[in-house]
């Protein structure tokens, strides 16, 4: 029998998701609404990499260039950058491969949501999106001209829905055999990012999602592999620790095979449902698989929670974290003090810094209401006092670039902000993907996450991120020291 995720997480998740099926049936996409169990899968984990977006993409070049028939790349933000140049070089190599091969062209789909304020304001307001003709490829998108991509059957498409519904997922599907799940965009920002390379049954989850939302029709069958084709290969196992928080870990094929995995889409919502006068504990988010799963694992945590997120402004998450702390769960948060401030104010009406201050204040209030037993208490009295009310440790850090902030173009490869999205609970499960813990991701943006249930992989992710953060954070609050 194949391994399955732990029932103490999955049972309440599936039950809650099933109860919301009548609401989720109105979403786009909604193919899983009446069968939540269909989101449970398995994956073979090949690589985990972190570093800046440009360094992550550079490390993916051999994989991208190994594509034989079809490359699908979905991102949120699209901009001229070193990352785009890396992609362009890979596209030119693939075109040349197809031409030299003398067979069918390699199909390439490039999908994004945002490239500028002007583009979003005047974007076609439909989930059918808009396609970009070859005449737009060079000037508008910074791609090579069609004349240099003769070996590719290339389509470029964007979808954006006013006022705030960006399609925020980022993923790459190669020949429907391998998937890359990065946190980074095709953009110029030198931010700390992460990516995981996967194969196995989880790939069909990505292809189904992509077909339902971006293609809107069944994809054509892939050609049969020819004897001369080199299959997609994965590097030898090992870890490379490179400068500027860039770490690459390739896992042995037998070590992380058949990892229990849950695919976690979160469809966009056009109505942001602002509730400025509603207490945060009463603000209910859309019942998407990603939202429900994150709230479930926070509610079922028994030991510790580790979070890294660009921003933290989602009221349901803040309430869930305080609840976990009140149950004695240790919570470690890494986030940013000043990342996308204007976007936060527009989509959330607040900022991460304000929300962190409020979380600390509420935590201190809880401590005052539930003081530890006095030193004169008997052992029995102390046990009674501690057992139901021992609060968890709260540690909060803000990302700070090594050597201080640098201007655009002068980063020298050093990450200037953290853009990784990660939640680990009890050393049992890690969630990676596109979803931030801010109001936009939870209420209006389309998001996509994947939950992995494997202690070895969880430990590797935590260790790799911890190494990348060395010397790049400052402690804002630590209840072990401040209280």
* Rounded alpha-carbon distances, angstroms, from residue 298 to 19, 115, 348, 423: 19, 34, 22, 9
The lowest-confidence range among 313-317, 336-340, 399-403 is 336-340
The lowest-confidence range among 19-23, 377-381, 386-390 is 377-381
Average pLDDT over residues 479-483: 80
Per-chain mean pLDDT for the chain: 92
* Rounded alpha-carbon distances, angstroms, from residue 249 to 98, 145, 240, 314: 30, 35, 6, 32
- Report which of 302, 315, 312, 322 is spatially closest to residue 370, judged by C-alpha positions: 322
pLDDT of residue 371: 76
CB atoms within 10 A of CB 404: 8
Query: Class of 44-218+235-258 per CATH?
Result: alpha beta
CB atoms within 10 A of CB 478: 14
Residues 244, 471 contacting (CB under 8 angstroms): no
pLDDT of residue 188: 95
pLDDT of residue 380: 45
Residues 174, 207 contacting (CB under 8 angstroms): no
Looking at domain 260-275+284-370+389-478, its CATH superfamily turns out to be Endonuclease Chain A (3.30.870.10)
Provide φ and ψ at 88, rounded to 5°. -60, -45
| Confidence band of 483 (pLDDT split at 50, 70, 90) | low
Instruction: For residue 342, give the 3-state DSSP assignment.
Output: helix
Reported as a single tens digit per residue, the pLDDT across 92-134 is 999 999 999 988 999 999 999 999 988 888 899 999 999 999 9
Reported as a single tens digit per residue, the pLDDT across 28-40 is 999 999 999 999 9
The lowest-confidence range among 1-10, 210-219, 320-329, 444-453 is 1-10
pLDDT of residue 228: 67
Reported as a single tens digit per residue, the pLDDT across 381-428 is 444 444 455 799 999 999 999 999 999 999 999 999 999 999 999 999
CA distance 343 to 5: 36
pLDDT of residue 197: 98
Instruction: For residue 239, give the 3-state DSSP assignment.
Output: strand
pLDDT of residue 374: 59
Helix (H) or strand (E) run with residue 199 in it: strand 191-199
Q: pLDDT exceeding 70 applies to what percent of the chain?
A: 93
| Confidence band of 276 (pLDDT split at 50, 70, 90) | low
Provide the residue ranges of all domains of the chain, joining segments of one domain with +: 44-218+235-258, 260-275+284-370+389-478
Assess whether the previous peptide bond of 29 is cis (omega < 30° from 0): yes
Reported as a single tens digit per residue, the pLDDT across 140-163 is 999 999 999 999 999 999 999 998
* Non-local CB neighbours of 228 within 8 Å, separated by 6+ positions: 101
* Non-local CB neighbours of 184 within 8 Å, separated by 6+ positions: 52, 53, 56, 57, 83, 170, 191, 193, 195, 419
pLDDT of residue 300: 98
pLDDT of residue 385: 45
CA distance 216 to 218: 7
Residues 196, 234 contacting (CB under 8 angstroms): no
The lowest-confidence range among 75-89, 265-279, 286-300, 318-332 is 265-279
Bridge partners of 180, per DSSP, are 172, 197
Instruction: For residue 242, give the 3-state DSSP assignment.
Output: strand
Provide φ and ψ at 204, rounded to 5°. -65, -25
Average pLDDT over residues 237-253: 93
Query: Is the pLDDT reported for residue 262 higher than 90?
Result: yes
pLDDT of residue 3: 80
pTM of this structure? 0.94
Reported as a single tens digit per residue, the pLDDT across 160-206 is 999 889 999 999 999 999 999 999 999 999 999 999 999 999 999 99
């Amino acid at each position: 029998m194949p391994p399955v995720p732990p029932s103490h997480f999955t049972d309440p998740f599936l039950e809650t998701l099933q109860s919301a099926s009548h609401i989720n049936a109105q979403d786009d996409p909604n193919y899983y609404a009446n069968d939540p169990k269909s989101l449970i899968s398995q994956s073979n984990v090949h690589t985990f990499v972190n570093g800046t977006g440009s360094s992550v993409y550079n490390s993916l070049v051999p994989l991208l260039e190994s594509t034989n028939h079809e490359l699908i790349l979905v991102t949120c933000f699209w901009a001229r950058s070193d990352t785009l140049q890396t992609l362009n070089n890979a596209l030119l190599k693939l075109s040349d491969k197809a031409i030299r091969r003398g067979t069918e062209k390699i199909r390439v789909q490039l999908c994004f949501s945002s490239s500028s304020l002007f583009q979003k304001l005047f974007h076609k307001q439909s989930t059918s999106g808009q396609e970009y003709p070859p005449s737009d490829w060079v000037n508008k998108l910074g791609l090579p001209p069609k004349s240099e991509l003769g070996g590719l059957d290339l389509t470029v498409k964007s979808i954006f829905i006013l006022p705030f519904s960006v399609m925020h997922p980022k993923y790459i599907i190669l020949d429907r055999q391998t998937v890359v799940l990065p946190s980074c965009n095709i953009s110029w920002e030198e931010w700390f990012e992460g990516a995981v390379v996967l194969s196995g049954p989880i790939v069909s989850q990505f292809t189904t999602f992509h077909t339902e939302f971006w293609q809107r029709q069944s994809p054509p069958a892939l050609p049969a592999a020819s004897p001369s084709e080199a299959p997609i290969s994965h590097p030898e196992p090992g870890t490379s620790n490179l400068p500027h928080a860039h770490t690459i870990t390739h896992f042995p094929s037998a070590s992380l095979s058949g990892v229990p995995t849950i695919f976690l889409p979160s469809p966009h919502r056009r109505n942001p449902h602002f509730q400025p006068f509603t207490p945060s504990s009463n603000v209910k988010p859309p019942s998407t698989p990603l939202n429900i799963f994150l709230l479930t694992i926070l509610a079922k945590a028994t030991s510790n929670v580790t979070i890294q997120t660009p921003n933290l402004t989602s009221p349901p998450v803040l309430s869930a974290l305080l609840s976990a702390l009140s149950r004695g769960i240790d919570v470690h948060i890494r986030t940013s003090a000043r990342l996308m401030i204007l976007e936060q104010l527009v989509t959330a009406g607040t900022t991460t810094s304000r929300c962190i201050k409020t979380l600390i204040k509420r935590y201190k209030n809880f401590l005052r209401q539930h003081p530890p037993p006095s030193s004169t208490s008997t052992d029995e009295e102390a046990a009674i006092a501690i057992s139901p009310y021992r609060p968890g440790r709260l540690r909060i850090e803000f990302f700070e670039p090594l050597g201080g902030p640098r201007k655009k173009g002068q980063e020298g490869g050093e990450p200037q902000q953290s853009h990784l999205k990660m939640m680990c609970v009890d050393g049992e499960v890690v969630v990676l993907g596109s979803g931030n813990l801010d109001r936009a991701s939870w209420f209006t943006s389309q998001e996509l996450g994947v939950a992995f249930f494997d202690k070895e992989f969880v430990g590797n992710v935590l260790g790799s991120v911890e190494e990348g953060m060395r010397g790049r954070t400052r402690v804002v609050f630590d209840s072990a020291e401040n209280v």
